[in-house]
Structure 1
């Protein structure tokens, strides 16, 4: 864990946001059907990543082998690529002083912003060492569709810029009450699509739900991968239509 005692209320929106350690947990899933348009059209409609124009960057979701988030981040950055590792912040008291410790929010995943051919080259260089059982990085596939050029295979999961910006906006806030959502802590079906209009979560958009007895906004990055804000009062939200989500100024 990283000790960040003197954190300001909000994090720098930089993509390079800390050096977390991997606990090996997978992305939480609550089993709801996605209503957030977060997956890139290039993937949703079965277009192979090989057909993405050269130099056209996308947000790729990559799996990280157990306990190697730090190494994965260093490896990606050494290749000159942008990456994002969301953190979770926990308040603890030690010897009467409040401290904030960080752990990975989604400890088995790293998000890489690059062109398809760059990611392919990254994974090609991602060799299994003699003392390791698996490669450092691998594709996180979109199992909801199949590739047009190979119907027996799924394409890599790619996230829309708009959805990734919203996710980064939420997870770069150093609030210990931002949590990944599981079926155990969500108390009723996800409700209205809203945008937060004031407070530290201003600009974050998602769906309303009650978690741990509090009204919160759920951001769904991709199907089954959800993160909740801290408590948001009703008067700090504005209801929006799904078709208007991508028109929100991020």
Structure 2
């Protein structure tokens, strides 16, 4: 069945339906497991800079309420690469500052696979469980139609460039990286820029003002937006796609 609903993002901490993971005083890697893409450029393992695998795409899958960890485990058990972006949050416990992590987008899982692999995965999950709620399902591209059926939307996929940019941003261990909605954004310049120095170097997006601070906004799909922390004007330049 086609999905025609949207879930707006908020800028508060209520993004995870389960309990956030307490990581202690230091930030962990943004990778929940070794199956999650890395932003490093190592010759071995997975990197966001790798040459795209033939026929593989980044699929956006919707996860049923509160079960993103279970969904991720099932995807990895099938040998597929997936990514769960994390949000890093500062909290105080017994007077000490700690960093905890929680899923940034609690209703979505990103899977890097072929269309056939994803179709098989969703079918096997459906027939192998007796649960009323479907654990994983397609999230559809509401901006286009299927060639073989113009009345339906195709599954949403994210291009490698956009996904690499998103992974790079959400892998930075900074509690000021937040999901935002268009309602709270005050666009100052609106220009597409690339950050040239600092923690957010090489992130590209649109300049905006949020809570009185100049930030760079990365839009992944359907106005699902993530904002960097403050970025000074001198640390960015106009971004021209080649």
TM-score (norm. length: structure 2): 0.80
Alpha carbons 1:209, 1:216 under 8 Å: kept? yes
Map of 2:36 onto structure 1: 16
Query: 1:11, CA displacement in angstroms?
Result: 4.3
Q: 1:213 to 1:239 in 2, by over 3 A?
A: same
Summarize deviations over 1:155-194 as a string: whole Å, max 9, x none. Answer: 0001001110000000011100001111342123670000
Alpha carbons 2:189, 2:208 under 8 Å: kept? yes
Map of 1:43 onto structure 2: none
Provide the aligned C-alpha RMSD in A: 2.1
Ranges in structure 2 where 5+ consecutive residues have no aligned partner:
1-19, 38-52
The count of corresponding residues between Structure 1 and Structure 2 is: 206
Give the Cα–Cα distance (whole angstroms) in 2 for the partners of residues 87 and 163 of structure 1. Answer: 17
Alignment of 1:167-206 (within 5 A): 167-188=166-187, 191-206=190-205
SS of match in other structure, 2:97: strand
Alignment of 1:215-234 (within 5 A): 215-234=214-233
Give the Cα–Cα distance (whole angstroms) in 1 for the partners of residues 189 and 79 of structure 2. Answer: 39
Quick one: which of 7, 17, 25 aligns to 1:6? 25
SS of match in other structure, 1:126: helix
Give the Cα–Cα distance (whole angstroms) in 1 for the partners of residues 115 and 30 of structure 2. Answer: 29
Alpha carbons 1:214, 1:231 under 8 Å: kept? yes
SS of match in other structure, 1:191: coil
Map of 1:107 onto structure 2: 106
Ranges in structure 1 where 5+ consecutive residues have no aligned partner:
18-53
Which deviates the most, 200-209 or 7-16?
A: 7-16
Alignment of 1:29-178 (within 5 A): 56-127=55-126, 129-130=129-130, 132-178=131-177
Map of 1:48 onto structure 2: none
Query: 1:59, CA displacement in angstroms?
Result: 0.2
Alpha carbons 2:182, 2:223 under 8 Å: kept? no
Summarize deviations over 1:37-61 as a string: whole Å, max 9, x none. Answer: xxxxxxxxxxxxxxxxx95110000
Map of 1:36 onto structure 2: none
Give the Cα–Cα distance (whole angstroms) in 2 for the partners of residues 143 and 8 of structure 1. Answer: 36
Give the Cα–Cα distance (whole angstroms) in 2 for the partners of residues 208 and 94 of structure 1. Answer: 35
